[in-house]
Amino acid sequence: ARTAAVIPAAGRGVRLGPGAPKALRALSGTPMLIHAVRAMAASRAVSLVVVVAPPDGAAEVKTLLDAHALPERTDFLVVPGGRSRQESVKLGLDALPAGHDIVLVHDAARPLVPVDTVDAVIEAVRDGAPAVVPALPLADTVKQVEPAGTPGEPEPVVATPERALLRAVQTPQGFDRATLVRAHETVTGEVTDDAGMVEQLGLTVVAVPGHEEAFKVTRPLDLVLAEAVLARRRL
């Protein structure tokens, strides 16, 4: 089965500070989005990458992709995104041509995911899982709180889930295409990841080992870490 990767890259990246849309900001001179596209194209199984661009930035993103070489075997498409990540992923799915039976959804904000992680996700879908997430154990203990109305106010702690049972999930998340399409047609209400929609269909989602370098670039400190990872790779 052929695999396509959908990359939602339409977010503003407000938490990163002022500037260009997050996906277009440079990491060691190359836009984060290009790193993310290359990370998907690095897998020999991926034959198509669909980039979901900021709604007013599709032409700019197309020009950017044309300017950066991808492997011969990889095609790409650019479509304009929506107001939420969920809507952006749906628009990417709608643009997928027939013949790709496995779909990866990968955040542009995770530019450094290693190819072995991508391949492990694809492999688990091929082995029959309808949805697969790369996941890591947590370093921090996690508390559930009663959120304060005002930022900075103390918040009552209501529970401490057992850390050994928790995982932080990353992308690419991998799906049987028909399952992901059905999830996007059926599930309403906000979710923070695509696999969560498949869980709501009552299907089993499996976790495979994620990777430290698949971290999400969200805050300014993450840019420092990403630059350091790239510098280490060049050694």
Binding residues vs ligand C5P (CB under 6 A):
8-11, 22-23, 52, 81-85, 88, 107-109, 216, 218
The helix or strand, by DSSP H or E, that contains position 125, with its residue range, turns out to be helix 115-126
Name the minimum Å distance from CB 84 to ligand C5P.
5
Rounded least distance, CB 92 to ligand C5P, Å: 8
Taking 3-state DSSP, the helix, strand and coil percentages for the chain, each rounded to the nearest 5, stand at 35, 25, 40
CB of 108 to ligand C5P, least distance (A): 4
> At a CB cut-off of 8 Å and minimum separation 6, what does 15 contact?
218, 219
Specify the residue, 83 or 234, whose C-beta has the smaller distance to ligand C5P.
83
The span from the CA of 33 to the CA of 8, in Å, is: 10
**Which is nearest to 89 in space by CA: 79, 76, 98?**
79
- Closer residue to ligand C5P (CB): 23 or 93: 23
Q: Judged by CB, which is closer to ligand C5P: 52, or 205?
A: 52
Is-contact 27 13, C-beta < 8 A?
Answer: no
Q: Show Cβ contacts of residue 199 under 8 Å, excluding neighbours closer than 6 positions.
A: 131, 205
Least distance to ligand C5P, CB of residue 1, Å? 25
List phi, psi (to 5°) of 49: -120, 125
Nearer to ligand C5P among residue 99 and residue 212 (C-beta): 212
Q: Which is nearer to ligand C5P, 109 or 125 (CB)?
A: 109
What is the smallest separation between the CB atom of 18 and ligand C5P, expressed in angstroms? Answer: 16
Nearer Cβ to ligand C5P, position 79 or 120?
Answer: 79
Q: How far is the CB of 126 from ligand C5P (least distance, A)?
A: 25
Hey, how many other C-beta atoms are within 10 angstroms of the C-beta on 132? 27
CA gap 22, 30 in Å, rounded? 12
Q: In terms of C-beta density within 10 A (0-12 exposed, 13-18 middle, 19 or more buried), how is residue 104 classed?
A: buried
